[in-house]
Amino acid sequence: MKKISLTGIKPTGDLHIGNYFGAIKPALELTKEYDARYFIADYHALNTMRDPKGLNSTIRQVAAGWLASGLDPEKVIFYRQSSIPEVFELATMLMAFTAKGLMNRAHAYKAAIQENNEKGDDTDAGINMGLFTYPILMAADIIIFDSDIVPVGKDQVQHIEMAQDIAQSINANYGQQVLKIPQAGVQEDSAVIPGLDGRKMSKSYNNVIPLFVPEKTLRKTIMRITTNSQSVEEPKDPDTSQIFQLYKLFADAAEQEALAGRYRAGGMGWGDAKEELFQVVNRCLTPIRERYDTIMADIPALDKILEQGAEKARPIAAATVKRFRKAAGID
């Protein structure tokens, strides 16, 4: 039997090419080797997103973005966290076994407290219980599907360790393997995708190239990439150009070599380099954008896909809760 992988997707913000190469593509590779499950973590988003319209449409945009990028709902299980009530039942059960001190040590919570203290605010200002108990809900997300491996970035490793701690103390208490202990599949730092200003592409830097914008907007965005003041004639070093770093993500080896040659020869201005970049980005994104637009034009069909995923997921979730309840004497 194949091992089970689980990927949680936070429904926040518009997807950009940093997400695509840093998260979506590597996560979709898992389908080859694992019995892969993917879910939209919409109750997690409730901690910070209070605008109902915004949250409602972000959930669909992110789901459509993953489908358009190649997630095949026939081959994997793709669902919304909020469609699986057993996740929240399990979270309550896990809470009984989670030391408050463990939550006190969570990085995100500690950072929020530290920020308050530095500002001279009340220690707990603006911190809700959703943030404080985030690692428990995340543990429930993972444990409920008997996940073997959870691919995460380094910032999420602590959460997986907490899930392990909680599950282990439950198994130890009942003297049997009630819950499977998950492992973190730490993604080695994949190449940093540079943004428009050369810093890491990130929504918080406002330097992103969005995935699903019309061609015109895409060109305009690419033309905004900052460059140095080298003249057209001057030879340029492709290896230090963020335009070329981006180009490499989209172009084949022969194209890369050809363009690197033009950089080094001189006579090519930054405007031309950006136009070359636009051409290859647009070539790659056009089919994805078309699929995205088609999916977004029929939200009921999209919801149906997610609902069908939830139907596949719920029996698995229910079985885990049942096992735990039986072990605990609540059956």
Residue 171 main-chain phi, psi, to 5 deg: -60, -40
The interface with ligand TRP within residues 163-182 (CB under 6 A) comprises: none
Known catalytic residue at 236: no
The interface with ligand TRP within residues 30-49 (CB under 6 A) comprises: 41, 44
Return the residue of 4, 5, 8, 143 that touches ligand TRP, per CB under 6 A.
Answer: 8
Is 220:30 a contact under the CB 8 Å cutoff?
no
Residue 244 main-chain phi, psi, to 5 deg: -70, -35
Stretch that binds ligand TRP, among 6-14, 68-76, 207-215, 227-235 (CB under 6 A): 6-14
Three-class DSSP category at 15: coil
By beta carbon distance, the residue nearest ligand TRP is 8
Stretch that binds ligand TRP, among 4-12, 212-220, 268-276, 317-325 (CB under 6 A): 4-12
- Residue 138 binds to ligand TRP (criterion: CB under 6 A): yes
Is 79:34 a contact under the CB 8 Å cutoff?
no
Catalytic: which of 203, 216, 248, 312? Answer: 203
What CA–CA distances, in Å, run from 9 to 40, 79, 147, 163? 5, 10, 15, 17
Known catalytic residue at 200: yes
CB-based contacts of 240: which residues, under 8 Å, 6+ apart? none
Known catalytic residue at 326: no
Q: How far is the CB of 6 from ligand TRP (least distance, A)?
A: 5
CB-based contacts of 279: which residues, under 8 Å, 6+ apart? none
Catalytic: which of 3, 200, 248, 312? Answer: 200
- Residue 141 binds to ligand TRP (criterion: CB under 6 A): yes
Candidates 202, 258, 166, 207; CA nearest to 23 is 202
Residues with a known catalytic role:
119, 200, 203
Binding site for ligand TRP (CB under 6 A): 6, 8, 10, 41, 44, 138, 141-142, 150, 152, 156
